[in-house]
Amino acid sequence: MKRIVLLLTIPILLTMTHCAPKEKGIEGSPITQTQVEQTQNELLKEFGEGQKFRIERGVSQVANLWRQSDGSFEEFKTFCEERFVADEAELETLFNKLSFGFEVLSGNFLKISKDLMRPLHLDMGPVTPIDMMFGGFSASAHLSEDLYTSKIAFVTALNFPFYSLNEKTELGPSWTRQQWAYARMGDRFTSRVPAELQQNYSRISTDADAYIDDYNIYMANLRNEHGEQLFPEGMKLITHWGLRDELKSQYANTEGGLERQQMIYQVMQRIIDQSIPQKVISNDEYIWNPISNEVAKDDKTVDASAEPNTRYKHLLNLFKAIEDMDAFYPNMPSFIQRRFESTYEIPVDDVEKLFIDFVSSKQVREAGKLISERLGRPLQPFDIWYDGFKSRSSIPAEVLDNAVAKRFSSAEAYQNEIPNILTSLGWSKDKAKFFQSKIAVEGSRGAGHAWGAAMREDIALLRTRIGANGMDYKGFNIAMHEFGHTVEQTITLHDVDYYTLTGVPNTAFTEALAFIFQKRDLDVLGIKDNNPEKVHLQALDNLWQCYEIMGVSLVDINLWRWLYENPHATPAQLKEATISIAKDIWNKYYADVFGSTDEPILAVYSHMISNPLYLSAYPMGLLIDFQLEQHIAGKHFANEIQRIFEQGSIIPQLWMKGAVGSPLSIEPTLNAAEKAISVVKK
């Protein structure tokens, strides 16, 4: 999972309010429409009609952002007249100096955040209250307002127009790289959110992250109805990632695998409905039967109250913190709209239609039948995580664990192996060493994450979970996913031609490269996969992963719609709504495939609690991943990855056309899966 750096992006990367102010001003602006037009006319007289677009939009942008504290109308007018840059060479100089300044500020503030989070993200001993306080502190909370006060933000907004998504879609294909860089500069200052609201969000987000990062189940303490222990000593799994991945691994276990999967599913259901006993969360002192929900200690049953809807309290806190900021985005007053139209740059209705068309497809239903045949039993709800289309699923876990343990015994060992990993994938030795110098591997307290840099002097962090006995295969597989993120983060910071174009169009694109790296874990380990059906199995695996995570994403989207319709809900009401929405999505698009109704499992993902509306990035990433894989097949892997990701953060569909020659679509995945089903069945 890629951490989204909301500490810095909320104040500067959401939506732009660029329509002209009304006579009474907009959201506190003292500048009226008449005064805007007067200022525009003065600038047009001085600089001519050739600058009309930039003048009209720039002056309107500044007016929308201007506050009484920034000065009178005369001061506003004087500022616009003195700071508007018409000469192209002078504009380029201004752009370069702004880029330098923003890299210094963004990069250093991000580094501060990463350092303050170390006690929360790394296993540096028990988390103390002061750790939480520092982790929730945002050194950049006042940055946006300070940039307005200093007038740097106004200079930027005046000279670099904001373009709507429709305008970028229409005009973008004909823009030069410099024009794209200028347009992204215009995205930088889009509203003025008070620093105290940003700080509040930072604190609440940190609390939610910490809750999720320390939510573990001690699997050796679970018992079935016969009092039997099904999982080995020392197994500690974080929810949901660890539980899900252990469930997946059990498909290769023909003896007892199904019972273990059923027990994990029961644990997941207890987490969703909050009937899980509080005492068994991140606590190895108690024995727990998740079926009967009985808890024991020293062979005696003990009273164990349920977790008090803490999961949903964190989500509700996040919603309220975000809702408090909504008023500062009058043209995009909901986080849903901002997340999709500004962050993802794909409207939510388009994303939802894409997902619904996919999960309703005939190919998914045929794949479900195929999976049932391969399992030799009717599908059960947890088979949304069926892992049998991966060649590795038939390789015994101990073989994989041994292969990993030899090379990746610690964070330091992984750090030392970075050049070998990359050269095995086609990068030169010099480039691989450069990546190694820009990526730091650290043992994570939680499931792990990748956290990039925002200035070239900083490094990307690969934080991954490493057990007391070193890394096992599941940990390595996750680490390869996060490593893919850090490779993307390094390419798109150091190899993109303009700082304002660093990064990718949205998080789905970094997820795509993470998936691509994750699938090459066996190649890195030197384990050959000679399965002649490999390509077809990969197509089916991608199809089934999309099917699962698209349903989860639809729950996430509809849950946020419910929150906006019920802003005064209690945690208990939110819990019931979440379960109801998850069951509704299941009944519409999954019940006919699995043969069961009212299943809540689509609500288990931890992202829903700590990473608002992030989940849609995963299925989009899987679709992008598949199209990229089709394109790079038979080509030089490293060279193509470099070429594709050096495009930087242009809009998604234009990026896709530059990458593979066609826009984002579900058709390549569905068509490949249809062919694969006919081949694999034979």
Per residue in 303-343, pLDDT tens?
999 999 999 999 999 999 999 999 888 678 899 999 999 99
Q: Domain range holding 219?
A: 212-273+275-308
Instruction: Answer yes or no: do 409 and 386 share one domain.
Output: no
Give the 3-state secondary structure of residue 14: coil
DSSP 339: I
Number of domains comprising the chain: 4
Contacts (Cβ under 8 Å, ≥6 apart) of 433: 419
Instruction: Answer yes or no: do 646 and 535 share one domain.
Output: yes
CB of 31 closer than 8 Å to CB of 63: yes
Q: Is 129 exposed, middle or buried (0-12, 13-18, 19+ CB in 10 A)?
A: exposed
pLDDT at 528: 79
Instruction: Answer yes or no: do 52 and 176 share one domain.
Output: yes
One DSSP character per residue, 273-332 reads HT-SBGGGBT--S-EEETTTTEEEETTEEE--PBP-SHHHHHHHHHHHHHHHHHTT-TTS
pLDDT at 390: 77
Residue closest to 457 by CA, chosen among 107, 96, 9: 107
Taking the alpha carbons of 523, 527, 528, 534 in that order, is the dihedral positive or negative?
Answer: negative
Q: How far apart are CA 135 and CA 203, in angstroms?
A: 8
Give the 3-state secondary structure of residue 195: helix
User: Number of helices and strands (H, E) in the chain?
Assistant: 32, 8
Structure tokens given for 127: 């988390």
Q: How far apart are CA 315 and CA 323, in angstroms?
A: 12
Whether 101 is in a domain gets the answer no
Instruction: Answer yes or no: do 493 and 434 share one domain.
Output: yes
Instruction: Answer yes or no: do 408 and 480 share one domain.
Output: yes
pLDDT at 125: 87
Q: How far apart are CA 66 and CA 36, in angstroms?
A: 11
Q: What amino acid is encoded at 503 in this protein?
A: G
Instruction: Answer yes or no: do 83 and 136 share one domain.
Output: yes
Whether 362 is in a domain gets the answer yes
One DSSP character per residue, 371-382 reads HHHHHTS---GG
Residue keyed to tokens 């504009």:
91
Instruction: Answer yes or no: do 619 and 554 share one domain.
Output: yes
* Domain end call among 491, 525, 559: 525
Whether 261 is in a domain gets the answer yes
One DSSP character per residue, 585-641 reads HHHHHTHHHHT-----GGG--THHHHSTT-TTHHHHHHHHHHHHHHHHTTS-HHHHH
pLDDT at 391: 63
Q: How far apart are CA 4 and CA 485, in angstroms?
A: 12
Whether 511 is in a domain gets the answer yes
Instruction: Tell me how far the alpha carbon of residue 63 is from its chain's centroid.
Output: 34
Per residue in 43-94, pLDDT tens?
999 999 999 999 999 999 999 899 999 999 999 999 999 999 999 999 999 9
Instruction: Answer yes or no: do 181 and 40 share one domain.
Output: yes
Q: How far apart are CA 234 and CA 402, in angstroms?
A: 17
Instruction: Answer yes or no: do 405 and 360 share one domain.
Output: no
pLDDT at 23: 44
10-residue mean pLDDT series, the chain (682 residues): 36 36 56 96 97 96 92 97 98 98 96 92 89 89 90 98 92 98 94 86 93 96 96 95 95 93 98 98 97 96 96 98 89 90 92 97 98 97 93 74 89 95 97 98 86 96 85 90 96 98 94 92 86 87 96 98 98 98 98 98 96 93 92 96 98 96 94 94 72
Whether 197 is in a domain gets the answer no
One DSSP character per residue, 466-506 reads -BTTB--HHHHHHHHHHHHHHHHHHHHHHSSSSGGG-S-SS
Whether 323 is in a domain gets the answer no
Q: How far apart are CA 200 and CA 630, in angstroms?
A: 44
Structure tokens given for 578: 């979440």
In the chain, what are the helix, strand and coil shares in percent, each to the nearest 5? 65, 5, 30
Whether 412 is in a domain gets the answer yes
Q: Are strands 287-289 and 236-238 parallel, antiparallel or unpaired?
A: unpaired
Instruction: Answer yes or no: do 553 and 665 share one domain.
Output: yes
Tell me the CA end-to-end span of the chain in Å, nearest whole number: 37
Contacts (Cβ under 8 Å, ≥6 apart) of 415: 436, 439, 440, 441
CA 258 vs CA 134, 246, 247, 250: distances in Å? 44, 12, 9, 7
- H or E element, residue 240: none
Per residue in 101-154, pLDDT tens?
999 999 999 999 999 999 998 888 899 999 999 988 888 888 888 999 999 999
* Domain end call among 510, 525, 540: 525
Q: What amino acid is encoded at 438 in this protein?
A: K
CA 274 vs CA 214, 271, 482, 603: distances in Å? 16, 5, 30, 12
Structure tokens given for 101: 């300044």
Q: How far apart are CA 596 and CA 44, in angstroms?
A: 67
Residue closest to 623 by CA, chosen among 651, 653, 646, 589: 653
Whether 644 is in a domain gets the answer yes
Whole-prediction pTM value?
0.81
Helices 617-632 & 652-660 angle (0-180, nearest 10): 20
Taking the alpha carbons of 575, 578, 584, 586 in that order, is the dihedral positive or negative?
Answer: negative
CB of 76 closer than 8 Å to CB of 38: no
Residues in the chain: 682
Structure tokens given for 469: 């006995």
Q: What amino acid is encoded at 70 in this protein?
A: D
Instruction: Answer yes or no: do 241 and 385 share one domain.
Output: no
* Domain end call among 192, 225, 253: 192
Instruction: Answer yes or no: do 58 and 139 share one domain.
Output: yes
pLDDT at 653: 92
